[in-house]
Structure 1
Amino acid sequence: KQHEEIQYRNSIWGFLKLYVNHNLIYDIIKIDDPKLYEKFISAINEILYWTKVFKVEDEAKFVKKYKRILAKMEASTNPNKYIINLSTKYLKYKFKPHLYKEKKKLLISITKLEYYYQTVSHKKKKHDKQNTKK
């Protein structure tokens, strides 16, 4: 079963990279953008919209997680810093698209947010590396 999940994750991840357009996201996500957090708010609201459309329970673990992230981001005095730190933290976790395979629209929205996290994390690493060389 674990092998099937890995195969599915790899195949759907490859498909979604094409659909979500990783290059476009990489270009529009800039860690020095003062409104970076607004892109994340929009992406999370899109996910929450699809959870309502698909009648996903408000008590579902991942719905709670996104609501909590949204609340913390909105309450933060520096939402961009919060997002950058969260993105760095999330990079160590494996994306599990097989959990959402029955709800394609939700999967696409979650994948977009996942790309946002990855892009911010990679750009932060690159930024830190460049600053330590100076």
Structure 2
Amino acid sequence: MRKEKKCVIIEKKCLTVTLLFIAVILFCVKGTVMSREKDGDLADRQYYRAIENEYIGEIREVLAEYGYKNCGITMTKVTEKDMPNEYTVLIHHKRLQSLDKTGRESIKTELSGVGFPEEESRFSYVFLELEND
């Protein structure tokens, strides 16, 4: 009877150790999978950063053609899962304030013609208004 009790205790310990090893292995596998997902996200972020910088350079060229060299350009991005990226391009230059609405719309139309590799992405262009004191 005592031997049977010892065998049961040994079996329970063995089962506990086995379950512990399985748990450790599962955590290791999960960490590896998540690490690979992060690597994929990193590659995506680097890709988008590169095409966004290129896009800002093209916007600068268009604005320079209009005579607005050295514009300040800030581009913000909103990303949602399973949705196209939405960008807001904020442009500021002292001389842009003196433009009428038609002139601004003309520049916005020209800027919307600048190509972006991710065609489903949406852009809005905003001219910063500085208050004169």
TM-score w.r.t. length of structure 1: 0.30
- Say which structure is richer in strand: 2
- Say which structure is richer in helix: 1
Larger Rg over CA atoms: 2
TM-score w.r.t. length of structure 2: 0.30
Question: Higher relative contact order at CA 8 Å, sep ≥6: structure 1 or structure 2?
Answer: 1
